[in-house]
Amino acid sequence: MSVTPLLPVKVPVPSDIDIAQSVQPLHISSIAEALGLLPEEYDLYGTHKAKTDEALFNRLCPADKQGKRKFAAVMLRRLAKLGIDKTDPEELTPEERRDFARLDLEPASITWRRVMDTNDRFLRNITVGEGPEERGQSRATGFDITVSSEIMAVLALAADLADMRERLGRMVVGNDTKGQGAIQRAHDGAGFGADIGMEKFMNIKCRASGLAPDCVVLVATVRALKMHGGGPPVVAGTPLHHDYTTENVPLVTAGCCNLARHIQNATKYGVPVVVAVNRFACDTEAELQAVKLAAQEAGASAAVICAHHGLGGAGAVDLGTAVVEACSGPKPDFKFLYDVSLSIKEKIEIIAKEMYHAAGVEYKPEAEAQIEKYTRMGFDKLPICMAKTQYSFSHDASLKAAAGPSCGSGCCARFWRPRAFGGAIAAGCCSGCGASRAAAAAPRRGRCALPPAAFGSGAGAAAAPRRRPTGRCRSGELMPGRRGL
């Protein structure tokens, strides 16, 4: 008996992929409209996929084998922020489920940037979301240096694992479409100049930890002070000028105003200062004594010549002794540079004038807008975390010595990012300075290589012997502006 099919049947029967490719899929928005979904009730993922509020909620709060749902502790904090006091997921209304599941981030407001330690200046500013699956989600962003990540600041400030988890949960990555801070789980690097690292340590780290330092150890080098005294620029990869390899006491003395300024800055916190003058093979006794004398005249409790670069730990014994003596006196009257209850502008101007000795602060239009927004959001009571060139007291890296009001320099506030982990508001006070590392003109990676013996041979090869340091002065060995000076 023959059976007549209700629909025509192709013979042979095509495969699933052939069937799928034989039709033109509808745009997902057309399907959503047919289902009665409003545009704000689903997210597009390309042109043929979307996620609804209910799907997002189910992924965030899935049911167990018994069909019951339970909020995690971090979810309860989000509900509290939304003003929802319910603890049973099943009690949430559709509107509350939507608010819970969606951040509704405004893409242009996202301040969270990716980080890496690769020297690639082309990654400072990039556009993401260009793939076919992210169609319509492209935005401008960029990469920062790893140590400028807010996570690094959390590691520096957290008291324990519980506190670290809490701070990570308070991070702000951007604003929602209503202008509120959107929080999502997701540097306190005290290097560079003391006007940067020390200031952050005193006003942010000490404030968060409740601890106070007993002493400041300020590191100086003859070479750095020669540069601040008017010496030729030091460029990595090029031979040092003879001014840096031969004795030049007047050049050193001229640059000691920079050291004196750092000492004056440190004493504003009410803490004694010990200056460690790192000795290198090119330094002469007359130059070292000139630095030591200048430090003592500027108010340092002690100034010590340190030879640990050539002698190891034995070369720093005198420094250790000086630090112990400085810490053995009366308890320092430690004080912060500013009161966090002041406005954002008042705090930034105190730092600029007291630490950088700027004549004033100029605010770019985008900075003015961000200050107004962060004040409205309640971030104005946080400390300030400044980003500035380490090569000068001013925002201009070319201004050496003790650049300040005497040379008419000031600071230009360029960008701001909230660090809601309880740490600070990050502000850029610079000219062309960002939070991303730039490669030197002649990076050292070009001089890195493995000796041929390291690759071995068919009969085996002995490891190349380790070379002991010769103590010679090499280009790029100490970059001026880092580690205190």
3-class SS letters over 211-277: CCCCCEEEEEEHHHHHHHCCCCCCCCCCCCCHHHCCCCHHHHHHHHHHHHHHHHHHHCCCCCEEEEE
Residue 306 lies in a domain: yes
What is the model's pLDDT at position 145?
83
pLDDT less than 70: residues of the chain: 1-10, 32, 35-43, 45, 50-51, 133-135, 179-192, 394-398, 402-485
What is the model's pLDDT at position 98?
84
Residue 379 lies in a domain: no
Residue 18 lies in a domain: no
The CATH number of the domain holding residue 69 is 1.10.8.770
Q: Would residue 299 be called left, alpha or beta, if left means φ above 0 and alpha means ψ between -120 and 50 degrees?
A: left
What is the model's pLDDT at position 8?
67
The CATH number of the domain holding residue 298 is 3.40.50.300
Residues 243, 303: Cα–Cα separation, whole Å: 24
Shared-domain flag, residues 221 and 296: yes
Residue 381 lies in a domain: no
Residue 332 is given by DSSP the state P
E strand spans, 307-403: 361-363, 384-387
Q: Is 175 helix (H, G, I), strand (E, B) or coil?
A: strand
What is the model's pLDDT at position 82?
86
Residue 225 lies in a domain: yes
Q: Residue 178: which domain range?
A: 107-183
What is the model's pLDDT at position 384?
87
Shared-domain flag, residues 89 and 144: no
User: Given 77, 101, 125, which residue is the final one in a domain?
Assistant: 101
The CATH number of the domain holding residue 167 is 3.30.1510.10
Shared-domain flag, residues 225 and 308: yes
pTM of the predicted structure, to 2 decimals? 0.58
Residues 479, 250: Cα–Cα separation, whole Å: 21
Shared-domain flag, residues 127 and 49: no
User: Given 277, 295, 327, which residue is the final one in a domain?
Assistant: 327
pLDDT tens sequence across 85-133: 999 999 999 889 888 887 777 888 888 888 887 777 788 888 888 877 6
Query: Residue 228 to residues 70, 253, 281, 290, 399: CA-CA distances in angstroms?
Result: 62, 10, 20, 14, 9
Task: Answer for the pair 290, 221: CB distance below 8 angstroms, yes or no.
Answer: no
Give the distance from CA 43 to its chain's centroid: 32
How many folded domains does the chain comprise?
Answer: 3
Enumerate the β-bridge partners of residue 278.
Answer: 221, 306
Residue 193's nearest CA partner among 361, 336, 439, 357 is 357
What is the model's pLDDT at position 2?
63
Residues 349, 304: Cα–Cα separation, whole Å: 34
Shared-domain flag, residues 217 and 323: yes
User: Given 167, 183, 199, which residue is the final one in a domain?
Assistant: 183
- Helices first, then strands: H and E counts in the chain: 16, 15
Task: Answer for the pair 473, 310: CB distance below 8 angstroms, yes or no.
Answer: no
